[in-house]
């Protein structure tokens, strides 16, 4: 439970966010709590609260570090975003690349790892198995010389489904693995049956017991063997997991109907630098010639195309003039094409810089999510926020996940006109969005709500931003730097120095 307290005698300058555990003791200073309630009411309900006039007190407020994971953003809409924003490394590349370190006894150095919560979760996961992970500002050094405990525990897997990515490399390196079955999640069932099927074809014996997958390679065979794998369905982490298994398998592996996402290419490039023999990554057919061992390597993670796409939408929805720097424009084709169709003016200034400007009123354009190079499902929610501001009817079809419209209800509460029928959302615009208290349900849904809040009238309180912290580095700082009015209540995520010293 969150409340704001005013320290006695410092009412005018110091507000500290205090957290009270659900059944914990009350704050001793009742007056402070009463004051806190008053201020909190102002923050959440007064249209022109003092939040943005009292930056000083907010910065102190941010410095306080509550125990709660219920951080909120307060966003005052209406500012066009202008200037430059720098894109961080791709979370979805960094996760499999960190898992790839399991495949060698040598050190693996990764540059451009984003400082986001999922990376910290992956660090914890690897460390719990005996790996040494040194997360630094400019590079991360991983050493899996000893893997004393090849177990991915439920406590960690349940918070990040990508933890299943350790299954393939653990079996390949140690001949055994114990990985908690990931449960369902907000955006759908998300099974890992295709990972399991592929590994079984490569000779692993896998049983499910007590919520865990117990996998081992027959001791007499000792090593996975190459196989012909045809994915029933295109899966990104499935392709990555089996690729990591195949590089140390005996003989050749042929994988068909593979994911072609840039994150698969990033992983393959790292594995090749480690001595793997891989051809075809980035196409739907990948050949792997297994090798007996891999060595250490150094690799730079590509820019995050979803973060870049989110900022392109931010520039377009606010009618700003934003240059998204340090990105890879080649990875943004479908998003750029759709934003242009919707009326935004886009200039690819350089291979790593894209400028977005208002090109007149936004107009409706349909999207249909597909595997890369189609329109990414990870951009669907953000695009829907934009569609609420476009003139006409936009159809948004979600083809990858069955339940990825959790943001709709929250957008509707802000005034959007959206109807969902099965996997299609019909968005009628432009709608006048007004501030409301809204709740994040998953990573990309949270980005959608922040985008909507940037154009909503008044101050929107976006709750449960820990979802956003999973995948967006310093999001409120980046948005503030280009003119957004956004403040965090609470300070869930440790600043870099603290997170690193804990690493």
**How many Cα atoms sit within 13 Å of 229 on the Cβ side?**
34
Show Cβ contacts of residue 449 under 8 Å, excluding neighbours closer than 6 positions: 385, 407, 410, 411, 438, 440, 460, 462
CA distance 40 to 1: 12
Residues 42-101 that bind ligand UD1 (CB under 6 A): 92, 95
Q: Among residues 68 and 237, whose Cβ is nearest to ligand UD1?
A: 237
- Catalogue the E-assigned strands of 176-320: 176-180, 204-209, 212-217, 228-230, 252-256, 277-279, 286-289, 297-300
Residues 155-174 that bind ligand UD1 (CB under 6 A): 161-162
411's torsion region: left (phi>0), alpha (psi -120 to 50) or beta? alpha
Q: How far is the CB of 241 from ligand UD1 (least distance, A)?
A: 9
Show Cβ contacts of residue 88 under 8 Å, excluding neighbours closer than 6 positions: 112, 114, 115, 116, 303, 304, 307, 473
**How many Cα atoms sit within 13 Å of 108 on the Cβ side?**
30
Q: Give me the sheet containing 176-180, strands edge to edge.
A: 151-152, 176-180, 212-217, 204-209
Of 129-137, 144-152, 193-201, 247-255, the window that binds ligand UD1 (rule: CB under 6 A) is 193-201
Active-site residue identified among 97, 144, 185, 258: 185
Residues 256-275 that bind ligand UD1 (CB under 6 A): 263
Q: Among residues 94 and 339, whose Cβ is nearest to ligand UD1?
A: 94
Q: Among residues 33 and 118, whose Cβ is nearest to ligand UD1?
A: 118
Of 12-20, 50-58, 187-195, 249-257, the window that binds ligand UD1 (rule: CB under 6 A) is 187-195
Residue 179 binds to ligand UD1 (criterion: CB under 6 A) = no
CA distance 330 to 308: 12
Alpha helices in 235-289 (DSSP H): 236-246, 262-273
Residue 255 binds to ligand UD1 (criterion: CB under 6 A) = no
- The DSSP H or E segment spanning 323 is strand 321-325
Q: Is 265 a catalytic residue?
A: no
Q: How far is the CB of 170 from ligand UD1 (least distance, A)?
A: 17
Please give the torsion angle defined by the CA atoms of residues 382, 387, 390 and 394, in that order, rounded to the nearest 10 degrees.
Answer: 150
Which of 193, 200, 279, 341 binds ligand UD1 (CB under 6 A)? It is: 193
- In angstroms, the first-to-last Cα distance of the chain is 28
Binding track over 336-375 against ligand UD1, x by CB under 6 A:
----------------------------------------
Number of residues that bind ligand UD1 (CB under 6 A): 22
Which of 117, 178, 195, 488 binds ligand UD1 (CB under 6 A)? It is: 195
Task: Name the token pair of 166.
Answer: 């350790």
Residue 401 binds to ligand UD1 (criterion: CB under 6 A) = yes
Q: Among residues 78 and 188, whose Cβ is nearest to ligand UD1?
A: 188
CA 437 to chain centre: 22
Which of 33, 307, 378, 469 binds ligand UD1 (CB under 6 A)? It is: 378
Task: Name the token pair of 276.
Answer: 């793997």
Which of 5, 312, 334, 400 binds ligand UD1 (CB under 6 A)? It is: 400
Give the residue from 304, 352, 357, 307 showing the smallest Cα distance to 330. Answer: 352
Of 188-196, 326-334, 358-366, 416-424, the window that binds ligand UD1 (rule: CB under 6 A) is 188-196
Residue 472 binds to ligand UD1 (criterion: CB under 6 A) = no
Q: How far is the CB of 101 from ligand UD1 (least distance, A)?
A: 16
Residues 214-253 that bind ligand UD1 (CB under 6 A): 233, 235-238
Show Cβ contacts of residue 446 under 8 Å, excluding neighbours closer than 6 positions: 440, 462, 464, 465, 467, 468
Q: Among residues 383 and 401, whose Cβ is nearest to ligand UD1?
A: 401
Residue 377 binds to ligand UD1 (criterion: CB under 6 A) = yes
Active site residues: 185
Binding site for ligand UD1 (CB under 6 A): 92, 95, 161-162, 188-195, 233, 235-238, 263, 377-378, 400-401
């Amino acid at each position: 439970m969150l409340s704001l307290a005013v320290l006695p005698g410092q009412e005018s300058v110091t507000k500290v966010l205090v957290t009270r555990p659900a059944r914990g003791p009350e704050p001793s200073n009742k007056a402070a709590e009463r004051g806190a309630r008053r201020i909190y009411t102002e923050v959440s309900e007064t249209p022109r609260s003092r939040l943005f006039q009292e930056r000083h007190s907010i910065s102190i407020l941010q410095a306080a570090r509550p125990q709660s994971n219920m951080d909120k953003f307060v966003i005052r809409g209406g500012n066009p975003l202008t200037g430059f924003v720098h894109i961080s490394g791709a979370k979805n590349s960094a996760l499999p690349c960190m898992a790839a370190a399991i495949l060698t006894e040598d050190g693996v150095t990764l540059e451009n790892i984003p400082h986001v919560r999922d990376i910290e979760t992956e660090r914890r996961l690897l460390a719990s198995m005996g790996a040494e992970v040194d997360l630094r500002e400019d590079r991360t050094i991983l050493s899996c010389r000893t893997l004393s405990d090849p177990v991915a525990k439920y406590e960690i897997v349940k918070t990040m489904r990508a933890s299943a990515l350790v299954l393939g490399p653990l079996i390949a390196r140690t001949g055994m693995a114990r990985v908690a079955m990931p449960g369902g999640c907000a955006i759908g069932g998300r099974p890992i049956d295709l990972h399991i099927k592929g590994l079984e074809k490569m000779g692993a014996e896998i049983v499910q017991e007590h919520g865990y997958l117990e996998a081992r390679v027959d001791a007499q065979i000792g090593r996975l063997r190459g196989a012909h794998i045809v994915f029933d369905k295109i899966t990104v982490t499935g392709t990555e997991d089996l690729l990591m298994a195949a590089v140390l398998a005996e003989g050749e592996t042929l994988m068909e109907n593979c994911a072609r996402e840039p994150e698969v290419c990033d992983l393959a490039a790292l594995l090749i630098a480690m001595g793997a023999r891989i051809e075809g990554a980035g196409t739907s057919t990948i050949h792997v010639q297994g090798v007996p061992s891999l060595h250490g390597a150094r690799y730079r993670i590509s820019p995050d195309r979803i973060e870049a796409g989110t900022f392109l939408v931010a520039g377009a929805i606010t009618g700003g003039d934003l240059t998204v720097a340090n990105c890879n424009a080649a990875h943004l084709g479908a998003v750029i094409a759709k934003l242009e169709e919707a009326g935004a003016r886009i200039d690819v200034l350089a291979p790593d810089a894209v400028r977005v400007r208002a090109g007149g009123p936004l107009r409706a354009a349909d999207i249909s999510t597909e595997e890369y190079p189609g329109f990414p499902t990870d951009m669907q929610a953000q695009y829907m926020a934009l569609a609420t501001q476009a003139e006409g009817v936009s159809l948004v079809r979600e083809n990858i996940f069955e339940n990825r419209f959790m943001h709709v209800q929250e957008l509707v509460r802000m005034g959007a006109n959206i109807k969902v029928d099965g996997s299609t959302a019909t968005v009628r615009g432009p709608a006048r969005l007004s501030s409301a208290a809204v709740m994040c349900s998953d990573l990309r849904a949270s980005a959608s709500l922040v985008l909507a809040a940037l154009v909503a009238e008044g101050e929107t309180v976006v709750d449960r931003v820990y979802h956003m912290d999973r995948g967006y580095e310093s999001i409120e700082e980046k948005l503030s730097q280009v003119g957004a009015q956004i403040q965090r209540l609470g300070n869930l995520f440790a600043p870099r120095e603290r997170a690193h010293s804990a690493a």
